[in-house]
Amino acid sequence: MNKIILIDYACHPFSLDLANSLAKKNIFVTYFFSENINLTGAYYKKFRSKNLHLVPIKTKSFYKYNFLSRRNSEIEFANKIISFLKNNNSSKVILANVPIDPLYKIIRFCKNNQIDRYFWVQDIYYLAIKNFFQEKKFLYIFFGFFVFKYYKYLEIYCFQNSSANIVIDKNFLKFFPKQNIKSYVIENWVPLIKKKYIPKKKIFKILNLKKKFTFIYTGTLSYKHHFENLIKLAIANFDSYVLIFSNNKFIQEVKKLIKIKKIKNIKIFNPISYDKLHNYLNIADVGLVNLNNKSNNVCVPSKVLTYYLNSLPVLASMPLSNLASKNIIKFKTGLVSDPKLINLYLNNAKLLKENTRLRKKLALNSKAFAKQKFDILKIRSKFIKILEI
């Protein structure tokens, strides 16, 4: 029996879906993730198979925005993976969403021990580091430039020294060397799971809200997301809710603005476990997604895919060249505008709010996209071909 290790540091639904599907193909899969970072709550417990071994790795707790303590925790994560590899036979390792320091350590170990390794590129971390430091010009000149160069070297090393690379957007390839490197493109997806719905009235009651038109934002707010437009959206639509399910330091900034501007229709809640999220998305009329221009080449927002699975039309403020924007436009699943064009963004929101027929059409297109693109059997076949098993 073939044995594979799949590492997804943050435990995303799509990588769990892949691990589970590979296990059903008579492949023994050990799935590692960070218990500290786990983004999907208890969702991973729903995946049970005799050929699937789920391993949450606990490391020392750390403050997310403390670079040194976070890095130490990430290296501890890598050391535990390497310890497992030393004591267990495995010929193939897939790495997704792994920060650069542990990614480098694991890939270097695998290379030195003739273990096939596959870098599944979800974000380009070295560009994100560059964007972060360039926002703080003084730090970038005297410190950040060297940090960026160091992590660029490490991430490119990982790309060059993988058995093959898998990117979620073909545009990512231009940021890595091309010579004699096997690279493949597989767009992300969301598991097509059977969902048990709780009545909308009950969800509104749980949230202590009245039923009214609802915009919803789920997931992380970070340096790459511009949230000022959420404030302007709420002000322009005072008779509607703007619900935000997130919890980090940027939420504190949103709360400050809400207080200063006396905004009453933005409601902020803690993140919802992925297995329950569909019930909260079900009360919304429109799903929101943001990405600033500087982060355009860094990532493809995956929350859009979650909206598609729940048949939600999307209101996006993102660069039009981003893959998520291209899909919104191509498949007519929502309305998207450049982050600089706030008036167009607000006009798009107004159009979605006032045009029920349009929302229904976009929702049907979102549902069709999910059905067409999220077939795990087709996706599994692509991975099996790349892994040569």
The two structure tokens encoding residue 181? 């490197």
pLDDT (average), residues 8-27: 95
Please report which helix (H) or strand (E) contains residue 356, including its range.
Answer: helix 356-373
- 14 HSE (CA, 13 A, CB side): 22
State how beta strands 164-167 and 314-317 pair. Answer: unpaired
CATH number assigned to the domain comprising residue 26: 3.40.50.2000
What is the pLDDT, as a whole number, of residue 194? 79
Question: What band does 345 get if pLDDT is binned at 50, 70 and 90?
Answer: very high
pLDDT at 289: 95
Same domain, 114 and 207: no
Q: Give every CB contact of residue 67 below 8 A, 6+ residues apart in sequence.
A: none
- Compute the C-alpha angle 183/162/170, nearest 5°: 25
Expressed as residue numbers, the domain containing 362 is 200-373
Q: Identify the DSSP state of 97.
A: S
**Amino acid identity at 346:** L
Answer yes or no: are the C-beta atoms of 161 and 383 closer than 8 Å: no
Residue 224 has pLDDT above 70, yes or no: no
Mean residue pLDDT of the chain comes to: 92
Could you count the other beta carbons within 10 Å of the beta carbon of residue 88?
10
pLDDT higher at 197 or 359: 359
One domain for residues 79 and 211? no
d(CA 246, CA 268): 7
**Tokens standing for residue 58:** 């606990």
CA 181 from chain center: how many Å? 25
Residue with tokens 């490119």, as numbered in its chain: 156
pLDDT in tens, 225-274: 677 889 999 999 999 999 999 887 778 888 888 999 999 999 999 988 88
Whether 171 and 138 map to the same domain: the answer is: yes
- Whether residue 172 is found in the same domain as residue 23: yes
Q: Strand 266-269 to strand 286-290: parallel, antiparallel, or no bridges (unpaired)?
A: unpaired
Strand-pairing partners, residue 164, are: 118
Tell me the pLDDT tens digit for each residue of 101-125: 999 999 999 999 999 999 999 999 9
The pLDDT confidence band at residue 131, using thresholds 50, 70 and 90, is confident
Domain match, 151 and 207 both:
no
pLDDT digits 0-9 by tens, 181-208: 899 999 999 998 877 889 999 999 999 9
The answer on 234 and 158 residing in a single domain is no
Strand order in the sheet with 241-245: 266-269, 241-245, 214-218, 286-290, 314-317, 334-337
Q: C-alpha angle with apex 9: 8 to 10, nearest 5 degrees? A: 95
Residue 23 and residue 160 in one domain: yes
Bridge partners (DSSP) of residue 30 are 5, 53
Of 163, 166, 89, 100, the C-alpha closest to 129 is 100
Q: Take residue 315 and report the two structure tokens written for it.
A: 């209101």
Measure the CA–CA gap between 160 and 58, rounded to whole angstroms: 30
Note whether 382 and 369 are same-domain residues.
Answer: no
pLDDT digits (tens, 9 = 90+) for 299-343: 899 999 999 999 999 999 999 999 999 999 999 999 999 999 999
Q: Which residues contact 180 (CB under 8 A, 6 or more apart)?
A: none
* Total structural domains within the chain: 2
Asked whether residue 223 carries a pLDDT value surpassing 70, the answer given is no
Contacts of 123 (CB under 8 A, 6+ apart): 97, 298, 299
Question: What distance in Å separates the CA atoms of residue 295 and residue 102, rounded to the nearest whole number?
Answer: 23
Please compute the mean of the pLDDT values over residues 144-158 and round it to a whole number.
93
Residues 152 and 209 in one domain: no
Question: Residue 138 above 70 pLDDT?
Answer: no
Task: Retrieve residue 87's tokens.
Answer: 């004591």
Please answer whether residues 303 and 355 qualify as being in contact, where contact means their C-beta atoms are separated by less than 8 angstroms.
Answer: no
- How far apart (Å, rounded) are the C-alpha atoms in residues 55 and 35? 9
Share of the chain above pLDDT 90, in %: 71
Instruction: Say whether both 102 and 164 belong to one domain.
Output: yes
Mean per-residue pLDDT, 276-285: 95
Sheet with 116-121, strands from edge to edge, namely 52-57, 28-34, 3-8, 92-96, 116-121, 164-167, 183-185
d(CA 337, CA 229): 12
Say yes or no to pLDDT of 222 above 80: no
The HSE-up count of residue 247 (CA atoms within 13 Å, CB side) is: 7
Q: What is the model's pLDDT at position 246?
A: 87
Residues 105 and 132 in one domain: yes
Q: pLDDT at residue 135 above 80?
A: no
Claim to verify: residue 175 and residue 246 sit in the same structural domain: no
Q: Is the pLDDT of residue 210 over 90?
A: yes
Q: What is the mean pLDDT of residues 373-380?
A: 97
Look up residue 241 and give its two tokens.
């809710």
Backbone dihedral region for residue 280 (phi beyond 0: left; psi -120 to 50: alpha; all else: beta): alpha
Q: What number of other Cβ atoms are within 10 A of residue 118's Cβ?
A: 23
SS3 38: coil
Can you tell me the distance from the alpha carbon of 193 to that of 7, in angstroms, rounded to the nearest whole number?
22
